[in-house]
């Protein structure tokens, strides 16, 4: 199987507001919208939207055993692990195990994430 497909649409338009889902444990702080997923491999493309004033300090940093790519679509996000403000246009290709976060944002932020759980390291 391959990743799901969709015709052109704009998940950032107001008409798409109902497609966004709260992230479990981060309700009121961040929400997500899966754009494409491969149910067999687990590979997915997702948008994560952090609300203005969001702060995940209480949840600490995180890492996972698979690679992912991220791109800041809009806004800005502070990544404490790197002591860096990520602005619109920032990109990273994270290797398995790389710690990132906790995060905070003053104005809000939308992040495009492409994750590859099928490429996990033991």
- Residue 82 predicted with pLDDT over 70: yes
pLDDT value of position 120: 82
Domain count, the chain: 1
- Residue 117 predicted with pLDDT over 70: yes
Range(s) of the domain holding residue 107: 47-122
Q: How confident is the model at residue 100 (pLDDT cuts 50, 70, 90)?
A: very high
| Residue 121 counted as domain residue | yes
| Residue 92 counted as domain residue | yes
CA–CA distance, 24 with 61 (Å, rounded to integer): 16
What residues does 36 pair with on adjacent strands? 45
Q: What is the mean pLDDT of the chain?
A: 94
What 3-state DSSP class applies to 91?
strand
CATH of the domain at 77: 2.60.120.10
CA–CA distance, 94 with 115 (Å, rounded to integer): 9
User: Dihedrals φ, ψ of 27, to 5°?
Assistant: -55, 135
| Residue 59 counted as domain residue | yes
| Residue 65 counted as domain residue | yes
């Amino acid at each position: 199987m391959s990743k799901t497909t969709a015709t052109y649409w704009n998940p950032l338009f107001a008409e798409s507001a109902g497609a966004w889902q709260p992230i479990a444990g981060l309700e009121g702080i961040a929400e997500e919208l899966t754009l494409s997923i491969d149910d067999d491999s687990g590979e997915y493309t997702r948008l994560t939207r952090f609300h203005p004033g969001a702060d995940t300090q209480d949840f600490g940093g995180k890492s996972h055993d698979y690679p992912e790519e991220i791109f800041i679509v809009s806004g800005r996000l502070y990544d404490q692990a790197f002591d860096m403000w990520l602005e619109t246009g920032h990109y990273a290709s994270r290797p398995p195990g790389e710690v990132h976060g906790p995060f905070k944002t003053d104005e809000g932020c939308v992040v495009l994430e492409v994750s590859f759980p099928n490429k996990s390291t033991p």
